[in-house]
Amino acid sequence: MSKKPTTPKIPDTEEAWLSGELGMDEEFVAVAPDDDESLINDQLDLQPISIRLEKSLIEDFKLIAAMHGLGYQPLMRQSLKRFADCEKKRILREAAADMAARKKAEKESQIEATSSEEPQKKAA
């Protein structure tokens, strides 16, 4: 009896997908139809934009993205989101501090106004 040659199997695991054992063959690469792209954009709430950036900045993002195993556009999206979130928090913190300072100043001026009225009442 002869043995059948066994075909090595690649495990269907998340690790196999992440490591590139699965899904990296060029024969399976295709451009997604426009319908799929708009469906993805709608589901992820993405809006395509056009922006002009310095070539060196794009190259930097590509280098950083490759080091993190990402595409440069998702990295740019993450960077812009982090910046916008931090800026909103900073602006809100500053607005809250300004509001607190105004309330404190108003309270102090009310106290001063009240204390300056008392000597006038005593004199009368």
71 band by pLDDT with thresholds 50, 70 and 90: very high
The answer to whether the Cα torsion of 46, 67, 51, 81 is positive or negative is positive
- Provide the pLDDT for residue 29: 78
DSSP letter for 28, please. Answer: G
Higher pLDDT, 65 or 6: 65
Instruction: Give the global pTM.
Output: 0.56
| Res 118 pLDDT > 70 | no
Tokens of 111: 């106290």
Residue with tokens 């009896």: 1
Residues 6+ apart with CB under 8 A from 10: 16, 21, 22
| Secondary structure letter of residue 35 according to DSSP | H
Mean pLDDT highest for which of 24-33, 68-77, 113-122? 68-77
Give the tens place of pLDDT for each residue, 16-36: 777 777 778 787 778 878 788
Give the Cα separation of 117 and 109 in Å (integer): 12
Q: How far apart are the first and last CA of the chain?
A: 125
Confidence at residue 83, expressed as pLDDT on a 0 to 100 scale: 97
Of 14-18, 44-48, 102-106, 108-112, least confident by mean pLDDT is 14-18
